[in-house]
Amino acid sequence: MKMLQVPESVLAEHYQDLQGKPFYPALIRYMSSGPVVAMVWEGHNVVRASRVMIGNTDSCEAAPGTIRGDFSIHISRNVIHASDSVEGAQREIRLWFRSGELLDWVAGDHQSCTSPA
C-alpha cells in the first residue's frame, strides 16, 4: 500500500480504454486533484471477493455495507477502483508499483488454516 500524487502519465495509461469518452478529461482532473492510496490485495478469489466488498460502480446501485454503497455519492466519484480480472490486476500492479515496493511474505496464520493442530 502506498499514498501518492498520481502523475497524469500513469492515469493516461491506467484509463487508456476510456480516452475517447466525454467524461475522460474530468476523470483525469479528479484523479490528479489529490493523493490516492494504491494497494495490492492477494488471496483466494481476491478479484471476485474484492469486487463484492467494493460494490457496484454506480453508487446508486451499490448495496449498503459495500465501500461504494456507504461512501460514494455519484458514479463519477465512486471512491475506489478494483481490477476486473487477474490479468488486469497484473497490468495495473506493474503500472502503479515498482518491483521493490512489493513484499513477498506468508502470513503466520495461513499454516494454521491448512495444517492440523
Structural domains of the chain in order of their starting residue, each with its CATH number: 1-38 (no CATH), 43-97 (3.30.70.141)
Q: What is the pLDDT of residues 57-116, one digit of tens each?
A: 999 999 999 999 999 988 888 789 999 999 999 999 999 999 899 988 887 766 655 555
- Please state, in angstroms and as integers, the Cα–Cα distance from residue 7 to each residue in 13, 37, 62, 108, following that order: 10, 13, 29, 36
Closest Cα partner for 2 from 95, 101, 71?
Answer: 101
Q: Quick one: which H or E segment has residue 97? A: none
Q: Which position among 14, 44, 74, 81 bears the catalytic label?
A: 81
H-state helical runs in the chain: 8-14, 24-31, 46-54, 67-71, 86-96, 108-114
pTM exceeding 0.85: no
Q: Residue 23 is placed in which grid cell?
A: 467524461
Number of H helices, E strands in the chain: 6, 2
How far is residue 107's CA from residue 52's CA, in Å, rounded to a whole number?
A: 23
Q: What is the pLDDT of residues 14-70, one digit of tens each?
A: 999 999 999 999 999 999 999 999 999 988 899 999 999 999 999 999 999 999 999
The question of whether 110 is a catalytic residue gets the answer no
